[in-house]
C-alpha cells in the first residue's frame, strides 16, 4: 500500500492532543487516544512523537503561543497610560468571564502543571513564566515585583478554577494593589 502524502498530520496530532487533554485531562492522554482523535493510524503518533512527553511539549508550546494565551496577547490589556492594576483586573476577569474561557484556562493549567511530574516539560513551562515576568517587569518597579505578580495571577486563577466562585473585581483589585504598591 502506498504512503499517503499528509503534510498536516503532525499538526493534526498536536491539535488532537490538546483536545484530548481539554476533554479528559492529562490522564486521558495516550498515543491511542490522540490517534483516534486525530483520525490517524497509531503508528503516526509514535512516528512524529516518540514519547508522550514529546507530544506534551509540542502541545504546551502551541497553547502558550496561542492567540489568547501568548504573553503578547496578555499585554494588550496593559496600557502605560492606565494603572497596572486596572489592566490586570481586566485580564483576569476576561480569563474567567465565560465557561469557554474557564475551559481554556483549565487546559493551560493542565499542560502547565504536568511539568511538575514531567521533567522534560519544565523548561517550556519555565520559559513561559520568564516571558510573563519580563513583560510585567516593563510595568513594575523591578523583576521581583513582576515575579510576585505572576505567582499571584497563577494563584488567583487556580483558586477561581478550583472553587468555581464568581470573579470578585474588588477583592482581586485589592489583592493586586498590595503587591503593586
Read off the pLDDT of residues 6-34 as tens digits, 9 standing for 90 and up.
889 999 999 999 999 999 999 999 999 99
Residues 35-45: pLDDT tens digits?
Answer: 999 999 999 99
Cut 0.75: pTM above it: yes
Q: How many helices (H) and strands (E) does the chain have?
A: 10, 0
Give pLDDT, residue 80.
67
Query: What's the whole-number mean pLDDT along residues 121-144?
Result: 91
Give the containing element (helix H, strand E) for 118. none
Residue 94 CA neighbour count, 13 Å, CB half:
14
Give the containing element (helix H, strand E) for 15. helix 9-24
Amino acid at each position: 500500500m502506498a504512503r499517503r502524502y499528509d503534510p498536516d498530520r503532525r499538526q493534526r496530532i498536536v491539535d488532537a492532543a490538546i483536545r484530548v487533554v481539554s476533554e479528559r485531562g492529562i490522564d486521558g492522554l495516550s498515543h491511542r487516544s490522540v490517534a483516534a482523535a486525530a483520525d490517524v493510524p497509531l503508528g503516526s503518533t509514535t512516528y512524529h512523537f516518540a514519547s508522550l512527553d514529546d507530544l506534551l511539549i509540542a502541545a504546551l508550546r502551541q497553547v502558550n503561543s496561542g492567540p489568547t494565551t501568548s504573553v503578547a496577547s496578555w499585554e494588550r490589556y496593559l496600557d502605560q497610560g492606565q494603572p497596572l492594576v486596572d489592566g490586570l483586573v481586566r485580564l483576569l476577569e476576561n480569563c474567567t468571564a465565560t465557561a469557554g474561557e474557564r475551559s481554556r484556562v483549565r487546559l493551560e493549567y493542565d499542560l502547565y502543571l504536568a511539568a511538575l511530574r514531567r521533567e522534560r516539560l519544565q523548561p517550556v513551562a519555565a520559559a513561559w513564566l520568564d516571558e510573563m515576568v519580563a513583560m510585567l517587569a516593563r510595568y513594575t518597579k523591578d523583576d521581583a515585583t513582576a515575579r510576585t505578580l505572576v505567582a499571584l495571577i497563577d494563584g488567583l486563577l487556580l483558586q477561581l478554577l478550583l472553587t468555581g466562585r464568581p470573579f470578585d473585581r474588588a477583592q482581586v483589585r485589592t489583592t493586586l494593589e498590595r503587591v503593586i504598591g
